[in-house]
Structure 1
């Protein structure tokens, strides 16, 4: 059957037509109200009928493949046909009652119209009766639509919407049933028999139309909210929150005491420029536990109600987690999570321009910022939001982004924000206000004593020890005194004491643990490693090295693959492309978990929930400080445990290749499948780039084989589409004059150039020089403009000063004959050199709103300019000129990016190379002339 909502919309259009007919007949519109000889009635009538025709055409196209329309569809089509017939009659009557614009004698024309109105009385009565018949059919049609009882009926569709809203937690009270009952009541009212009562009939019809429109609007609003909220949801939206342990209720009560902190006063404050509260503390000091506690405690909500007053109040949170997936540590994850919480709570705040997006469409940062600004400027809706953002120091981008990012949020008087971080960060100065901030360590010593006491005194054996004297009480006090505000230390030492108590150790042993258990966590981590059996030490080192270098936690299955590598180094190439399901490997999880524990102690933990990309059981560090310790303090020690050649980065490439081979891909056009494939691919390319920096010749050969196999695997997954699989990636957003077109001619070598795999590309070019000749964008363009959309963030884009343009790749391609003056037909014949200049101009201009591009990137741009000039870039003296921007050319671009002095050096080099080429050309001509003589 055709879409019942579309049918309802079509019927609503017919109601408008009937109502209009009633108004014409009842004389509610002046027949003398002419505009240029054509009444507004005719113009309005034409518009109504045209809308009906369009909706009817859509309905007919939906049922054109069916052998026979349903009774309802037949009923509606007949109503449309009746409307068309009545439309012609209405036109005739309106024309009779319209004053002709070309007449010279207005009074005579007025008399003619008056006479026609008398003569038309009977025909208008007849037309009125026909409109009443159509009115009756409309009402019965609406009843048929609303009272259908099957899976695709209107009410079934509306119930599905309600269920979807409930499942997504969307706070929108739908009124489908109330509106439906009102419509059924109106359609059941008795029809008036006489034309004199048409005005009253029209009023009923208008009321019916208003209710149908309300139902359609309710459907549209609900559908929009579901699509937008679904598009904002991501699997890890609460993962970090759920991983944080709950604190004892008494542990953090101090934060609400106004004699200790101003937190309660801040929650209640309505003062302007008072939107931010800042909490800082050392690693492991309990910031995340505190943030989780206050974000859920009823006292927080109660005090915020003083601020929100009569307005709706919503509380949300985001917990950065540097060890987690991309969405747990990025600005995108933060903004998307907060928007998800805001729009789920207040769907009426959804901006009109995003309402039409599909639920699988990815949000870009500009869209999210624009949506926040729209929300911040709303005055129609009465809602207030308080957000708790934990772990700003675990954000994986530039620290300079933090303050502007938070200021976007608190620019609205409707938003409060409480944030936590480690101390000593660049953003601290602009965020921290002395009366709206504190160091958590000032208040936790007594909480720690309570925690230790509660944990130890419930143990029966510890209770017996306590009867022997004051030693046990001293141990409790000593732990909180030695902790120096670090909860993680308290947790670990308490756990060790309980371990020994359960094995019947005495007071002296317990006191020795406390005394030797230095507050230096690194020493404790070393002790855990020392306890691991020597026979497992090499595998421990391999496991830790892999987890230290990974971009995001791996599923437990990955560590089974690492184990496979120890006996079959080429396993990743030998493994067939074959989907692996969670059901297949679930029985093996207990064994794999035990092996990870045996080799890594408690330093790695396993989350049994679904992995954000594939399979389940994410393997992660017990605490961020563990990763910091292994990476910064113990990396060389791990290397010393290795007795065989081992590259964690090459191993990660093998693991990700196998994950791609095992990935179930039913439909390559499915957005979720594509995102998983592109995400795993980009991780592999990142590890390959990192490995290329210091790899041996043998490791490079292995990498080359893995990369070639990667192309084959993804080509297999994409075998149902015509273009190369690299086209599945979305194109980067346009930045002014810098935009990206592929023309269907992207390939894996181009992606390798973008990924800066210089050694791999060199090997490919040496093996086959012809592959330099590529259609669409030249390879040099990919090296100079390597932007690509990726579902993940790589460290070299964020935490390290590593430029995206690789001068080695540029020089490699130039050495193999790449021509910077080559015209690119996809870009209206612009040269590669010109496209590069426009790109760096836009990148430099885009950064103008915040910080300038990193110096390392500018250095790479400048070196690339020099390299291209050496081989003749712009040696034809044809300067780059931008259409529509006469002031934008080679000189202004170079000056704007590098400054006038450095720009002049480059332009002098261009002139020198051009002059030399001219001289060489003249010399060549002279030699040819002599030869001819």
Structure 2
């Protein structure tokens, strides 16, 4: 469009014409150009915001109960003396938060006993419109921005980690202030770090720091962070975490926190009385109003009230006995409403109330003891399963767990394997089971387990803590058969669910992720259930009491069942790719390798070497690029998995199919970890390169025969040697001694294996991809359009371009300066790297004249390089560089 406008403008200018028309065309062309730039910027902003989001980012917020409509109003409106039973000091405490929101800085700490309603209060305040009004007065003349995060100890890894916290905060901030993205995340913005790469903790910390340190007062931020005691620190110490939160508060950022009154939080946040409240001391009136409402809205309350004027005293008694614990009030009012439904008299209700222990743990014990003995086995088994679960399980799992007590092998009878499964009947059966289990859980566990949005969890964190005590563990164990295993019960329940499910009509799709096209079953409850099932199988692998033969048989049944279900799939054309049954039949094996279930795989491959040859790929491809791959960097088990498949007979030089060229799995691996070219130079090597070095993946490939002379294709015509990009990646390696040594070991393998800096033009005799099977395996590891601009490289210019690419970086790293020490780890690393690179550069006829000063200065330091046996190569002006016998290190000596 812009080109057409330019042509029109040129044509108009060549003819006699009104200047106004020319100006209108010029302005229109400028507007089009600006619109194009705006669209590109918006697209980049949205991509970065999406990369910060994650599946469970708002799950905890949504799961927290909303505050009762007549509670917590004191946070914004002070109660009069006549309206409250609180002391003057307590009423003053109620006003602290509003004052801090309007005028305060730093950190405000909301603390309280377990079950006192801290999370509900934090959600109430963070979402309330008066909070924004108060913060706007603080931020004036700037704009106030609110971001909130709710830690959850029972949730996913992201819901209880620092990375999850920072991504949540930044995601909220950037949604409101996208103009901050470029300055807060320069590497992401310039795409030095590919958008698909997982955010690192250091990268997130840097982004928050840049926002915190901004001088511009256009935006001011208030972060609400709930449940610090539910944060899962790496070393179990919360002190560093507290210090970090204090450090990011600034002129631009203030933080409202909540936690239990643990010592480390008291020391960090509780020293200033003006910036703290203990919520259980301030909610007497809230509890009274809540209790009144719960009782008075019962259909039989008015009858009781007409029978005795004392009925109104129940709410006051509850408020007095509650001691500020809202969870206790919730359970008590539920029991009182149950009494009202039974037409209990006031005397009976009062006796019931006074018989309830005021301590939560004793109350929980009383609730469990009220369960009829007939249900004790199911109660104990259900609670043990909830304790074992790593995160809330689907209610369907609990519906199957209950059947185990009648028949341990029930999961094998959930369908008739000789008949076709009717999808509608299966679905209706599952829906009926889900409704049924909600009622059963109430009977078995008396409300201590709660079902929300199809997931079952403890009513409150304190319930789980109580059940994990030694006394309660023994109590539950005494109610169960001696061979009961919670993990096996969960795994069998998943298998039963799988047996009652169907893939008929299921949707499969090819999705592009970081340039890779993979086959996967996307967003399917069935597939997500399969992932969860095998994750629990991985936990059972670590339990000595579990028979591995029996465990393998359960996983095998899943594999067989899914293959049978997959055969019923009708081929679907999705995104121009034909999906067939074989693309999903191997999901159990793929997922087992992805987790990994190494014990299971080891036992299976020893009997069946081709066990992992699924999806038309070889096992190496399955290790590094599984369709179920959820991580951007490789997990720590990748080296073990890779060594295992090599020892099982796999070959690193097996061919796979690329977008334009056949490539080996080794070349595909290199394409993914090494720097990508761009018109402005190159992009940094991403976290995958650092991982590949530290985990020893490059070394494993080379040890098992990978070709060090491989070329990496830039586009359909040009290629670059893998050695060139491997050396370039060394400039992005973090300066850790172990990683550096592993890098040099791999570099030596490249050089000793005959790798060179030579580039190669296209070979048109290369096999081309064809046929359905190869199309299905198509993998775009490189953005070729972007790579073709790799510093302007063509086959004829490559020597000079590559030379400048590498040696300009050396000059930057080894430049002389008055304060520059030649003994720093960084200097020693790059001087050593130069010594190894130089022989290869001479061999490739790189034009090194302009870098002679750098070479002499660096190699003249006799302490840097070992004194081996040298041979000489003459340089201009009678300078000599010596190479050792292996030809892979160099140093200067005078003629």
Q: TM-score range by the shorter chain?
A: 0.5 to 0.7
Residues 547 and 827 (structure 1), Cα distance of their counterparts in 2 relative to 1, 3 Å cut: same
**Counterpart in the other structure of 1:904:** none
**Once the 2 structures are TM-superposed, how far is the Cα of residue 703 of structure 1 from its aligned partner?**
1.2
- Counterparts in 2 of 1:521-532, with a 5 A limit? 521-532=360-371
**Once the 2 structures are TM-superposed, how far is the Cα of residue 204 of structure 1 from its aligned partner?**
2.2
**Once the 2 structures are TM-superposed, how far is the Cα of residue 562 of structure 1 from its aligned partner?**
2.6
User: Could you tell me how far apart the structure 2 residues matched to 1:747 and 1:606 are?
Assistant: 30
**Mapped contact 2:48–2:195 kept (Cα < 8 A):** no
- Counterparts in 2 of 1:27-66, with a 5 A limit? none
- Counterparts in 2 of 1:814-833, with a 5 A limit? none
Residues 364 and 657 (structure 1), Cα distance of their counterparts in 2 relative to 1, 3 Å cut: farther
Partner SS for 1:592: helix
**Counterpart in the other structure of 1:623:** 460
**Counterpart in the other structure of 1:13:** 3
1:600 is aligned to 2:445: yes
**Once the 2 structures are TM-superposed, how far is the Cα of residue 17 of structure 1 from its aligned partner?**
3.9
**Mapped contact 1:326–1:552 kept (Cα < 8 A):** no
**Counterpart in the other structure of 2:70:** 249
**Mapped contact 2:213–2:250 kept (Cα < 8 A):** yes
Partner SS for 1:249: coil
Structure with higher helix content: 1
**Once the 2 structures are TM-superposed, how far is the Cα of residue 332 of structure 1 from its aligned partner?**
5.1
**Counterpart in the other structure of 2:823:** none
User: Could you tell me how far apart the structure 2 residues matched to 1:489 and 1:888 are?
Assistant: 53
User: Could you tell me how far apart the structure 2 residues matched to 1:266 and 1:545 are?
Assistant: 44
Partner SS for 1:259: helix
User: Could you tell me how far apart the structure 1 residues matched to 2:168 and 2:738 are?
Assistant: 43
**Mapped contact 1:280–1:423 kept (Cα < 8 A):** yes
The correspondence for 1:296, drawn from 127, 133, 136, is 127
- Counterparts in 2 of 1:626-665, with a 5 A limit? 626-633=463-470, 634-643=472-481, 645-659=483-497, 662=501, 664=503, 665=506
1:667 is aligned to 2:508: yes
Deviations 1:411-431 (A, max 9, x none): 564433212112326566445
**Counterpart in the other structure of 2:556:** 708
Q: Note the residue ranges of structure 1 that are not aligned, 5 or more in a row.
A: 1-9, 26-126, 129-194, 610-616, 729-745, 798-802, 831-838, 847-860, 862-867, 874-880, 895-933
**Mapped contact 1:653–1:688 kept (Cα < 8 A):** yes
Residues 890 and 407 (structure 1), Cα distance of their counterparts in 2 relative to 1, 3 Å cut: closer
TM-score by length of 2: 0.58
Structure with higher strand content: 2
- Counterparts in 2 of 1:152-301, with a 5 A limit? 195=16, 198-216=18-36, 220=40, 232=53, 234=55, 237=58, 240-241=61-62, 243-254=64-75, 259-260=92-93, 262-269=96-103, 274-301=105-132
**Once the 2 structures are TM-superposed, how far is the Cα of residue 506 of structure 1 from its aligned partner?**
4.2
User: Could you tell me how far apart the structure 1 residues matched to 2:154 and 2:427 are?
Assistant: 23
Q: Note the residue ranges of structure 2 that are not aligned, 5 or more in a row.
A: 79-90, 513-519, 572-576, 655-663, 670-686, 705-722, 743-895
User: Could you tell me how far apart the structure 2 residues matched to 1:492 and 1:239 are?
Assistant: 21
Deviations 1:428-484 (A, max 9, x none): 64455524223222322343344334544663245346525xx963x5444333333
**Counterpart in the other structure of 2:229:** 393
Which of structures 1 and 2 has the bigger CA Rg?
1
- Counterparts in 2 of 1:73-472, with a 5 A limit? 127-128=14-15, 195=16, 198-216=18-36, 220=40, 232=53, 234=55, 237=58, 240-241=61-62, 243-254=64-75, 259-260=92-93, 262-269=96-103, 274-324=105-155, 328-331=159-162, 333-351=164-182, 364-366=198-200, 372=208, 382-396=218-232, 398=234, 400=237, 403=241, 407=245, 410=248, 413-424=251-262, 426=264, 429-434=267-272, 435-456=274-295, 459-464=301-306, 466-467=308-309
Deviations 1:505-564 (A, max 9, x none): 445434433433222222222222222222222222222222221222222322333345
Deviations 1:307-365 (A, max 9, x none): 121333333433333334555445455444434433333344444876899xx986723
Deviations 1:43-95 (A, max 9, x none): xxxxxxxxxxxxxxxxxxxxxxxxxxxxxxxxxxxxxxxxxxxxxxxxxxxxx
**Mapped contact 2:153–2:231 kept (Cα < 8 A):** yes
RMSD: 5.7
**Once the 2 structures are TM-superposed, how far is the Cα of residue 249 of structure 1 from its aligned partner?**
3.4
User: Could you tell me how far apart the structure 2 residues matched to 1:652 and 1:208 are?
Assistant: 64
**Counterpart in the other structure of 2:354:** 515
User: Could you tell me how far apart the structure 2 residues matched to 1:490 and 1:411 are?
Assistant: 36
**Once the 2 structures are TM-superposed, how far is the Cα of residue 776 of structure 1 from its aligned partner?**
11
* Count of equivalent residues: 638
Deviations 1:709-743 (A, max 9, x none): 44456677699899999999xxxxxxxxxxxxxxx
Q: Which moved more, 1:280-289 or 1:324-333?
A: 324-333
**Mapped contact 1:714–1:725 kept (Cα < 8 A):** no
User: Could you tell me how far apart the structure 2 residues matched to 1:574 and 1:497 are?
Assistant: 41
1:533 is aligned to 2:369: no
The correspondence for 2:436, drawn from 591, 597, 617, is 591
**Counterpart in the other structure of 2:673:** none
Deviations 1:617-648 (A, max 9, x none): 22222212222222335233222222473322
Partner SS for 1:277: strand
**Mapped contact 1:483–1:519 kept (Cα < 8 A):** yes
Partner SS for 1:492: helix
**Mapped contact 1:392–1:419 kept (Cα < 8 A):** yes
User: Could you tell me how far apart the structure 2 residues matched to 1:792 and 1:573 are?
Assistant: 40
User: Could you tell me how far apart the structure 2 residues matched to 1:602 and 1:393 are?
Assistant: 24
Deviations 1:578-624 (A, max 9, x none): 867867644554333222222222112222x4xxxxxxx22222212
**Counterpart in the other structure of 2:395:** 556
User: Could you tell me how far apart the structure 1 residues matched to 2:263 and 2:631 are?
Assistant: 27
User: Could you tell me how far apart the structure 1 residues matched to 2:245 and 2:270 are?
Assistant: 13
User: Could you tell me how far apart the structure 2 residues matched to 1:245 and 1:667 are?
Assistant: 38
